């Protein structure tokens, strides 16, 4: 603080405010202590930030001429400062309210400009009480913001008048605005996703986040619902504390929680690690989302209003949906004579009806089922199992039904195995959902594919259970297969169906891993898949449909046209082998590629051929046979932001022919003339490829500092038949633009002759597989592995 005349403290400047804020935050960016060396906890930090900003605003309001009682001008805070929930780097939401008796423009300038100039975020307005109420009447965000209005400085009577009128206006008019409210909520959810099930949740705007808590408070203020407490209050504290720590660590305004931030925040909150934090946040998000769903339904906001000639609505009709199940208004409810304690199938009939119609289950029905519905006795009767299949085949309606049953403990009554995956965050970056939501989403996707298989019931049950083995310290496919066997027997499936279900779960990764990481034109690859599924065509088609449903539920970009074609081609070859037909011989080069190679053999000039179908392109690069063709070709493609999915190198008339399946990472394919010119320069040595790729990687953010360590795996006899001695080397590493170029160059320096390569990218991770003949020396694997790991870092 600066000093005025005679040593008295002068009014603090905006620079003083920012300096004091940064000291409270420990200068941000992960620093752990405040000005006294003691790190403030999240609640204490919010309190201190609110006190600091109130002190500054009060001092400046007096200096700016806001005045006191009877002056007709007041400064109000809304938003986080109004609620005294000010998280780091929040904008200040301020309203300068006046009664019109004096000019306030000069006062506003003296308040706002110092904040602007210091970089403090500011959302401000200057209005009379009447103007503020008029804006609130037409703008939902303003109306809800004024519910948090709190006096900062000036004429308190003006503040009381506006705050009281705004709350009265809200209470009187809220029912007419419920449609607008729920529409805005749904649009926000669509943009921001869910707190409960997303790997990177938006703590403020996501479904089940802090914005939804504000809506619950607004509905309670209007006396439409009871004020939430208990579990929802705990969720509020966890979400707010997490958001506070996230911003303190980030050193800026950020509300989307990334996995790499989780461990530090979890340590502060006493939650162990990022997985424990993610699980706690998932539970909190579910509690808030469910509370808001119930609140909106109870107000009638989620259902169309019904009125007859302006008189009171009649009692909602009760329309039968199934035995003991009715549609009561817009909710699925129990019939008056239904007895859950004596009807073990009632729970699933209610669930199936809700999934089929898209109407939610009434809270009273859930409560009554929770109190008295028994777990179906094993083995389940056929009709109960059919109701389960009907529920699983409901499509998008399944998601909300499972959520409602899970929230009330009814889902665990049907599937006790679910507890291990409930709210479980995934361990790999490709997944965007928690494991339990991924299983439900896979089942939703599988419902669209039931006509492609002969056993739709097994497809749906297998989709629900395929990752049920996660959350344990063993191979989830092996554990899951054992659990699927247990569930299958409980459901009353035949022994053959139980075996098929168990095999689906055990081998649900067989097709995608084989198609994207192995040479599917190799007969040995096909035979290995056929042997794994025991020559069962029904299991093969179930795995094919499950692969698509699972990939679509993993995350954006996981199920691509290229992956779909490879998988379909592999399945077709397996069916041919099962039928005893001859497998098509692999054709190394087609006529156009051979002609291109022959032209290069005659001219000696490198050349490029591009053939594009939809977004998938086949790029052929030819040059005189020489070492380095694979790495140099991959480098040119990477330089043009092309993602390589498969690669092979062949020779024809003394010419090396590299064939690459590629898609643009973004945009469209480059001009073949550009590829040709760059490739010729690389071959001639005039284009510094490694230097250009390093610069391109830096432009795209460089390599991640906290990337997982790369790993190499070896698989014998998978690259050319059991008698060839050939091997497959699989590299698992963080993806980057020049990865294939760097690894191929390392292999070439080790004298490795690569026969083929497959590149699978999942989120920020890559699994690159290479087939080649083994070296002659005893330590060749160690040499190759060391070189590859060094190149992939």
Q: Say which CATH number the domain at 117 has.
A: 3.30.460.10
For residue 205, the model assigns a pLDDT of: 96
Residue 241 has pLDDT above 70, yes or no: yes
Confidence of residue 308 (pLDDT cuts 50, 70, 90): very low
Average pLDDT over residues 274-291: 92
Contact predicate 791/742, CB 8 Å: yes
Which pLDDT score is estimated for 3?
Answer: 45
Compute the distance between CA of residue 693 and CA of residue 671 in angstroms, rounded to an integer: 19
Where residue 241 falls (left for φ over 0; alpha for ψ -120 to 50; beta otherwise) is: alpha
Mean pLDDT of the chain: 88
Note the pLDDT of residue 746: 93
The region of weakest confidence among 193-202, 374-383, 554-563, 716-725 is: 716-725
229-239 per-position pLDDT tens digit: 889 999 999 99
Same domain, 217 and 287: yes
Closest CA to 737 of 637, 650, 662, 656: 637
10 Å Cβ neighbour count for 495? 9
Average pLDDT over residues 628-633: 90
Measured CA to CA, the distance from residue 789 to residue 780 in angstroms comes to: 14
Look at residue 33 and tell me whether its pLDDT is greater than 50: no
In order, the DSSP letters of 556-617 are TTSS-HHHHHHHHHHHHHHHHHHTTPPPPPP-SS-HHHHHHHHHHHHH---EEEEEEETTEE
pLDDT at 302 over 80: no
| Poorest-pLDDT segment among 1-10, 56-65, 212-221, 295-304 | 1-10
Note whether 155 and 212 are same-domain residues: no
> By percentage, how much of the chain surpasses pLDDT 90?
58
Distance, in Å, from the CA atom of 132 to the CA atom of 128, rounded to the nearest integer, reads 6
Same domain, 514 and 420: yes
Nearest CA-CA partner of 662 in 683, 682, 636, 695: 636
Domain membership of residue 183 (yes or no) is no
Question: Do residue 151 and residue 264 come from a single domain?
Answer: no
Question: Which pLDDT does position 239 carry in this prediction?
Answer: 97
Nearest to 284, CA basis, from 243, 233, 219? 233
The boundaries of the domain holding residue 170 are: 12-176
Residues 146 and 86 in one domain: yes
CB 290 within 8 A of CB 158: no
- CA–CA separation, 162 and 184 (whole Å): 25
Higher per-residue pLDDT: 5 or 357: 357
Q: How many domains does the chain have?
A: 4
CB 772 within 8 A of CB 747: yes
Q: If you write DSSP's letter for every residue of 280-324 in order, what string do you get?
A: HHHHHHHHHHHHHHHHHHHHTTTS----BTTBPPPPPPEEEEETT
> Which of 3-12, 203-212, 319-328, 507-516 has the lowest average pLDDT?
3-12
Q: Are residues 118 and 260 in the same domain?
A: no
User: Does any domain span residue 333?
Assistant: no
DSSP-assigned letter for residue 720: S
Are the C-beta atoms of 345 and 381 separated by less than 8 Å?
A: yes
In the prediction, which pLDDT does 506 show?
Answer: 98
CB 362 within 8 A of CB 350: no
Examine the pLDDT at 299 and tell me if it is beyond 70: yes
- Angle at CA of residue 59, ends 55 and 61, nearest 5°: 115
Measured CA to CA in angstroms, residue 640 lies from 620, 738, 764, 791 at distances of: 15, 11, 19, 21
Tell me what pLDDT residue 702 has.
61
- Segment 328-333 long-range contacts (CB within 8 Å, at least 24 positions apart): 328/362, 329/303, 330/297, 330/302, 330/303, 330/304, 330/359, 330/360, 331/297, 331/359, 331/360, 331/361, 331/362, 331/365, 332/357, 332/359, 332/360, 332/361, 332/362, 332/365, 333/361, 333/362, 333/364, 333/365
Answer yes or no: do 33 and 86 share one domain.
Answer: yes
pLDDT tier at 362 (50, 70, 90 boundaries)? very high
Residue 401 lies in a domain: yes
Q: What is the pLDDT of residues 687-740, one digit of tens each?
A: 999 899 988 888 776 666 666 789 999 987 665 554 456 788 999 888 888 899
Q: Look at residue 347 and tell me if it is in a domain.
A: no
d(CA 285, CA 600): 62
Q: Identify the band that residue 777 occupies on the pLDDT scale cut at 50, 70 and 90.
A: confident
pLDDT for residue 701: 63
Shared domain for 60 and 121, answered yes or no, is: yes
Task: Tell me, yes or no, whether 342 lies in a domain.
Answer: no
Q: Side-chain half-sphere of 473: how many Cα atoms within 13 Å?
A: 0
- pLDDT score recorded for residue 703: 63
- With 50 as the cut, is the pLDDT of residue 545 above it? yes
**pLDDT at residue 280 above 50?**
yes
How far apart CA 510 and CA 547 sit, in angstroms, is 9
Once rounded to an integer, what is the mean pLDDT over residues 635-660? Answer: 90
* Sequence-distant (≥ 6) Cβ neighbours of residue 744 within 8 angstroms: 630, 631, 634, 754, 757
Report whether 246 contacts 203 (CB < 8 A): yes
Confidence grade of residue 613 (pLDDT, cut at 50, 70, 90):
confident
**Confidence class of residue 304 from pLDDT cuts 50, 70 and 90?**
very low
Residue 539's Cβ-count burial label (10 Å; 0-12, 13-18, 19+) is buried
Distance (Å, whole) CA 609 – CA 596: 8
Q: How many C-beta neighbours within 10 Å does residue 336 have?
A: 8
CB distance 519 to 647 below 8 Å? no
Calpha distance 636→632 (Å, rounded): 6
Which residues are within 8 A (CB) of 116 and not within 5 positions of it... i.e. 6 or more apart?
Answer: 122
Please give the DSSP secondary-structure letter assigned to residue 12: P
Q: Domain check: are 607 and 568 in the same one?
A: no
The 3-class SS string of 34-98 reads: CCCCCCCCHHHHHHHHHHHHHHHHHHHHHHHCCCCCCCCEEEEEEHHHHCCCCCCCCCEEEEEEE
**Domain for residue 703, yes or no?**
yes
Same domain, residue pair 164 and 52 = yes
- Tell me the sheet residues that pair with 733: 766
Answer with the residue of higher pLDDT: 63 or 247. 247
pLDDT digits (tens, 9 = 90+) for 118-135: 888 889 999 999 999 999
Pair 550, 638 in one domain: no
92 in any annotated domain: yes
CB 664 within 8 A of CB 615: yes
* Domain annotation covers residue 335: no
Mean predicted confidence (pLDDT) in 546-553 = 96
Residues 36 and 83 in one domain: yes
Is residue 165's pLDDT more than 90? yes
């Amino acid at each position: 603080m600066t000093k005025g005349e005679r040593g008295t403290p002068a009014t603090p400047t905006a620079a003083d405010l920012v300096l004091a804020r940064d000291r409270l935050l420990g200068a941000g960016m992960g620093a752990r202590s405040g000005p006294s060396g003691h790190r403030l906890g999240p609640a204490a930090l919010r309190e201190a930030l609110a006190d600091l900003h109130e002190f500054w605003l009060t001092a400046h309001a007096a200096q700016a001429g806001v005045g006191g009682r009877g002056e007709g001008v007041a400064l109000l805070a809304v938003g986080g400062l109004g609620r005294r929930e000010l998280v780091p780097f929040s904008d200040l939401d301020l309203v300068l309210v006046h009664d019109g008796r004096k000019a306030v423009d000069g006062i506003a300038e003296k308040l706002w400009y110092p904040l602007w100039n210091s970089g403090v975020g500011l959302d401000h307005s200057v209005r009379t009480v009447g103007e503020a109420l008029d804006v609130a009447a037409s703008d939902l965000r303003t109306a809800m913001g004024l519910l948090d209005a709190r006096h900062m400085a000036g004429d308190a009577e003006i503040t009381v008048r506006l705050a009281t009128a705004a709350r009265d206006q809200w209470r009187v008019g809220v029912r007419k605005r419920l449609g607008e409210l729920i529409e805005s909520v749904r649009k926000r959810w669509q943009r921001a996703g869910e707190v409960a099930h997303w790997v990177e949740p938006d703590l403020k705007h996501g479904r089940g986040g802090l914005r939804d808590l504000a809506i619950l408070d607004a509905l309670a203020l209007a006396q439409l619902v009871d004020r939430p407490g208990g579990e929802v209050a705990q969720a509020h504290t966890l979400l707010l504390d997490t958001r506070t720590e996230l911003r303190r660590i980030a050193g800026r305004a950020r509300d989307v929680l990334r996995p790499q931030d989780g461990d530090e925040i979890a340590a502060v909150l006493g939650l162990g690690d990022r997985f424990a934090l993610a699980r706690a946040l998932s539970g909190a998000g579910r509690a808030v989302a469910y509370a808001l769903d119930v609140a909106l339904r109870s107000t009638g906001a989620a259902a169309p209003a019904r009125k007859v000639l302006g008189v009171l609505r009649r009692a909602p009709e009760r329309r039968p949906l199934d035995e003991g199940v009715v549609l009561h208004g817009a909710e699925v409810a129990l019939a008056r004579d239904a007895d859950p304690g004596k009807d073990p199938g009632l729970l699933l009939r209610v669930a199936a009806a809700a999934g089929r119609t898209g109407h939610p289950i009434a809270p009273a029905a859930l409560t009554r089922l929770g109190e008295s519905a028994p777990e179906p006795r094993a083995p389940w009767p056929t009709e109960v199992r059919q109701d389960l299949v009907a529920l699983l085949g409901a499509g998008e309606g399944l998601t909300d039904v499972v959520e409602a049953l899970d929230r009330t403990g009814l889902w665990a009554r049907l599937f006790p195995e679910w507890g291990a995956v409930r709210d479980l965050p995934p361990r790999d970056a490709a997944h965007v959902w928690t494991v339990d939501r991924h299983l439900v989403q896979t089942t939703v996707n599988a419902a669209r594919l039931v006509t492609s298989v002969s056993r739709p019931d097994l497809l749906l049950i297998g989709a629900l259970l395929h990752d049920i083995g996660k959350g344990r310290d063993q191979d989830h496919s092996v554990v899951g297969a054992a659990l699927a066997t247990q569930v299958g027997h409980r459901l009353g499936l035949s022994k053959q169906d139980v075996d098929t279900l168990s095999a689906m779960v055990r081998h649900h990764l067989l097709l995608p891993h084989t198609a994207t990481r192995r040479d599917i034109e190799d007969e040995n690859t096909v035979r290995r898949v056929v042997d794994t599924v025991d020559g069962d065509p029904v299991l093969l088609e179930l795995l094919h449909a499950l692969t698509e449903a699972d990939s679509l539920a993993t995350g954006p970009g996981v199920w691509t046209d290229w992956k779909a074609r490879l998988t379909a081609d592999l399945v077709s070859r397996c069916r041919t082998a099962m039928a005893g037909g001859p497998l098509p011989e692999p054709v190394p080069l087609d006529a156009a590629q051979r002609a291109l190679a022959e032209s290069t053999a005659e001219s000696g000039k490198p050349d490029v051929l591009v053939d594009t179908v939809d977004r998938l392109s086949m790029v052929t690069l030819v040059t005189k046979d020489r070492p380095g063709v694979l790495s140099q070709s991959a480098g040119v493609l990477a330089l043009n932001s092309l993602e390589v999915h498969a690669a092979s190198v062949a020779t024809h008339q003394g010419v090396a022919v590299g064939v690459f399946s590629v898609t643009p990472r973004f945009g469209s394919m480059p001009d073949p003339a550009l590829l040709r010119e760059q490739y010729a320069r690389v071959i001639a040595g005039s284009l510094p490829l490694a230097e250009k790729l390093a610069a391109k990687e830096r432009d795209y953010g460089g390599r991640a500092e906290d990337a997982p360590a790369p790993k190499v795996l070896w698989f014998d006899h998978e690259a050319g038949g059991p008698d060839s001695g050939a091997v497959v080397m699989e590299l698992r590493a963080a993806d980057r633009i020049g990865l294939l170029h760097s690894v191929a160059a390392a292999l070439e320096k080790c004298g490795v002759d690569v026969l083929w390569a497959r590149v699978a990218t999942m989120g920020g991770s890559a699994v690159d597989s290479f087939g080649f003949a083994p070296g002659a020396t005893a330590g060749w694997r160690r040499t190759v592995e060391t070189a590859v790991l060094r190149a992939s870092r």
